């Protein structure tokens, strides 16, 4: 932290904390980063991912518009025996003024969390009791223990963009998947398992089921590889394409990078359950001003991480792809 860019009486407010003065501001930053004794006791693995910066335009009268950053913050609360990881997504709004020495100086910072502060698409303050409840909920051991491991081992990576109220928003990289049209999920697992033997596929298995009453097509995709450079499309090796050409039922599909809204649940993947989660997920993110791709209403898309006949704690999700101009990322 470069204190010369902050006013001596700078103020900081987030859903849990309020303070003033540059020394108090720096002490709070150092604690979260584990650079103080208390921080070293409480936290580890703190990191923040900055998604975007907007604002900061110089106006005709010489003033500077507020700057808004969008971020994901995570840290492990190591003082608890189960060491839960807390994740917050949100925005910071900086009120700045011109300065002769540093050109610009920060006079206030207000942070808002996506999980509690979005009201009808706008960020609004809430009581500290709501923020404290949200924080404690992330430390709940029942939400961190007993999660079913992926039946496939490795998982398709993603960047968490929002932990919202009732949903998440994630960015998935471009990936190549083995895809089949199926009737029964167990048969689909068997066919794709045979095709991808020794390939070490990634979870989850991703299903799409048409919502048409006249044409009930169902597709299953197993991710096989993904592009590690953001914005690029994955390149499928020739030998994988050749193997698919030799199969009468399996194709290789390249899926572009995309942003999806996700509803998480632990019930069995029955059609009524998926439809219910799909409806509640859509209502939750539309309430917060996000927009789905128009064609997403033509099918249900859901993901399964556990074995097809898992008897333990289940892990399943419903996905809805957002349109490119229907989100702020």
What is the Cα–Cα distance from 237 to 145, expressed in whole angstroms?
38
What pLDDT score was predicted for residue 171?
A: 97
pLDDT attached to residue 34: 84
pLDDT at 311: 57
Q: What is the pLDDT at residue 165?
A: 94
Confidence at residue 308, expressed as pLDDT on a 0 to 100 scale: 66
Phi, psi (degrees; rounded to nearest 5) at 277: -65, -40
Q: Which residues of 306-316 are buried (b: 16+ CB within 10 A; e: fewer)?
A: bbbebeeebbb
Q: What is the token pair recorded at 290?
A: 């996000």
Length in residues, the chain: 329
What does the mean pLDDT of the chain come to? 91
pLDDT at 313: 65
pLDDT at 127: 96
What pLDDT is attached to residue 265? 86
Instruction: Look at residue 144 in the predicted model and tell me its pLDDT.
Output: 46
Residues 6+ apart with CB under 8 A from 131: 14, 15, 16, 113, 116
Tokens for 219, please give them.
């597709």
Identify the segments of the chain with pLDDT beneath 70. Answer: 143-153, 308-313
For the full predicted model, state whether its pTM sits above 0.85.
yes
How high is the pLDDT of residue 159?
Answer: 95
For residue 269, what pLDDT is reported? Answer: 82
Other C-beta atoms within 10 Å of 242: how many? Answer: 10
Residue-level pLDDT at 86? 92
């Amino acid at each position: 932290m470069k204190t010369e860019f902050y006013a001596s009486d700078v103020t900081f407010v987030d859903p849990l904390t309020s303070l003033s003065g540059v020394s108090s501001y720096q002490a709070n930053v150092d604690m979260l980063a584990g650079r103080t004794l208390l921080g070293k006791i409480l936290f580890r693995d703190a990191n923040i991912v900055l998604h975007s910066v907007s604002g900061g335009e110089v106006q005709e009268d010489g003033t500077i518009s507020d700057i808004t950053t969008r971020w994901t913050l995570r840290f492990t609360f190591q003082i608890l025996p189960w060491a839960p990881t807390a994740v917050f997504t949100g925005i910071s709004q900086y009120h700045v003024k011109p300065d002769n020495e540093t050109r610009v100086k920060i006079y206030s910072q207000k942070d808002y969390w996506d999980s509690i502060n979005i009201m009808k698409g706008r960020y609004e303050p809430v009581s500290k009791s709501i923020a404290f409840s949200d924080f404690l909920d992330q430390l709940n051991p029942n939400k961190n223990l007993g999660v079913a491991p992926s039946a496939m081992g490795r998982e398709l990576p993603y960047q968490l963009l929002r932990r919202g109220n009732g949903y998440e928003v994630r960015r998935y990289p471009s990936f190549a998947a083995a895809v089949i049209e199926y009737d029964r999920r167990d048969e689909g697992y068997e066919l794709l398992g045979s095709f991808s033997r020794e390939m070490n596929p990634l979870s989850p298995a991703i299903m799409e089921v048409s919502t048409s009453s006249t044409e009930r097509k169902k597709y299953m995709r197993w991710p096989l590889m993904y592009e590690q450079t953001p914005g690029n499309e994955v390149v499928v090796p020739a030998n994988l394409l050749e193997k698919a050409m030799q199969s009468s039922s399996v194709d290789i599909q390249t899926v572009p990078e995309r942003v999806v809204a996700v509803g998480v649940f632990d019930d069995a993947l029955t059609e009524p359950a998926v439809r219910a989660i799909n409806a509640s997920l859509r209502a939750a993110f539309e309430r917060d001003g996000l927009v789905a791709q128009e064609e997403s209403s033509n099918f249900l898309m859901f993901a399964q991480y556990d074995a097809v006949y898992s008897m333990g704690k289940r892990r399943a999700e419903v996905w809805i792809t957002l349109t490119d101009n229907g989100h702020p990322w």
